[in-house]
Amino acid sequence: MLKLLKKLSFVAILSCCVSACNNKVGIASEYSENAKVNELASRLSIPIMTRVVAGNRFYYVRLRIGNGPETNAILDTGSIGLRAISAVVPNRAKNGRPIIYHFESGNELHGSVSNENIAAGGHPLGTVPVQVVDELRCTSQVPGCAVARLDASTPFAQGIDGRSNQEFGAIMGIRLFARDRAVPNPLRAAGFKLWVVQLPRKDGELGALILDASPTELSNFTRITVDKNGSLAACLDSSGATQSMCLPTVLDTGDPHVFVYLHDIKNQVLRANMLMTLEFTDRLNAGQKVALTFTSAKNQAKKSQEPLRYNPNLVSLRQLKNPQEPPYINSGYLPFLDYLIYFDADEQVIGMRARPR
C-alpha cells in the first residue's frame, strides 16, 4: 500500500484548495535466462505512437504475443504486467493460473496466465508471463464502470480497457514494483534492467521506448528513489492555496490528466488557470528534486466538439473507492511531455531530464 506523507492535514489542504477556486528483486528463476541473454544485447529502441480514440489519448507500441497477430499494446507506466485479450494469444496455455486484475477506474480483467514469447517492432524480447483476458467486468466498488456500457456480445469492441477500440488488444504495464507478481513487469521479466520513455508530443510524431540505454544517454538525469509501489514522493501546490498536498505520486502514461485520490471528498475539478507546481523529491536526498509547473485546465463540457476530451493539465480530486487504500496522486501523462523519464529496475529509481521544446 502507498504510504501517506503526513506533511499537512488533509482537512486544511482541501479547504484551502476548494476556497481558492472553489523491486531490487530478481526475476523468477524460470525467466533468468532472459536476463543472461539481454546482458549481451545492444540498445533497443521501440517506436511509441499516439492516437486519440473516443476522446481519450493513448500511447502504444506494436506487440506480438506468441504466434498471434501483432496488436496495439497500451504503454502504461501506472500498472504492472502484460495483459492481452484471448484473440491475440491464440495458443495460450490450457490450464493457466486464473487471475483477476483491476484498475482504479473500476474495470476488472478476468483471465489466466500463460508464458509467451513477445516481440516488439520485430525484435524478440523474451518469454514472459501474460494474463490472457477472457472477460471484462466492473468491480463491486464501481458497478457503473465503462465496461458496464459494453455490448455483451462484443465485449472487446472497445479494446482491452473498454474505452479504446478493437485495435488495442493489450496493455503493457511497466511500473516499478519492489516485488514481482504472478504477472510481473514484462520488461523486467524479459531481463531488461532499465528503460527510457520518450512520449510523442503530437499526432503523427514517433516517440521511443529505449531498452538498456547506454550510460551516455543517461547523463544529466535527476535520479529520484521510488517506494516499494513504484511511487515518487511529491507535493502538489497551487497559486490559490497556502498549503501543499504531499503524497506518493505515480507517473502514469495510461491516465488522461492529473488525479488526486483522497478519502471523504466529493469528486470535483480544481478551477482553471491556476498556476500549479508538482515537485518530486528524493526521500533519501532532498537536493534531488524536479519541479513541474503548469496551468490548470478547465473540464470540457460533455458535448464538447473537441477531439480530446481531457486536457492533461486538468486536476481532479477523486474519492478512493477502497477505504483501506492511502491517498495518492496520479500525474497522468503530463510529466512525460516535458521530461524524458527513465526507469531503473535494479536501483528502484526514476530519472527525469527536461526535454527541449
Range with lowest mean pLDDT among 5-19, 40-54, 129-143, 157-171: 5-19
Q: Letter for the amino acid at 182? A: A
Model pLDDT, residue 286: 87
**10-24+218-354 with 29-216: one CATH topology?**
yes
Question: 250-281, pLDDT tens digit by residue?
Answer: 999 999 999 999 998 888 899 899 999 999 99
- At residue 51, φ and ψ (nearest 5 deg) are -160, 145
User: Rounded mean pLDDT of the chain?
Assistant: 85
Residue ranges of domains in the chain: 10-24+218-354, 29-216
Model pLDDT, residue 303: 60
Predicted confidence (pLDDT) at residue 211 exceeds the cutoff of 50: yes
> How confident is the model over 289-313, as a mean pLDDT?
85
Predicted confidence (pLDDT) at residue 8 exceeds the cutoff of 50: no
Predicted confidence (pLDDT) at residue 347 exceeds the cutoff of 90: yes
> How confident is the model over 314-341, as a mean pLDDT?
94
All 3 cell numbers of residue 85?
A: 485479450
What's 270-331 look like in SS3? Answer: CCCCCEEEEEEECCCCCCCEEEEEEECCCCCCCCCCCCCCCCCCCEEEEECCCCCCCCEEEC
All 3 cell numbers of residue 86?
A: 484471448
CATH 2.40.70 fits domain 10-24+218-354? yes
What residue has cell string 472477460? 135
199 three-state secondary structure: coil
Predicted confidence (pLDDT) at residue 150 exceeds the cutoff of 80: yes
136: β partners: 109
Question: 28-73, pLDDT tens digit by residue?
Answer: 434 444 544 444 345 899 999 999 998 899 999 999 999 999 999 9
Range with lowest mean pLDDT among 1-15, 87-101, 125-139, 231-245: 1-15
Contact by Cβ (8 Å): 254, 171: yes
Q: How far is CA 50 from CA 56, 198, 211, in A?
A: 10, 12, 19
Model pLDDT, residue 7: 37
Model pLDDT, residue 301: 66
Domain 29-216, second-level architecture: Beta Barrel (2.40)
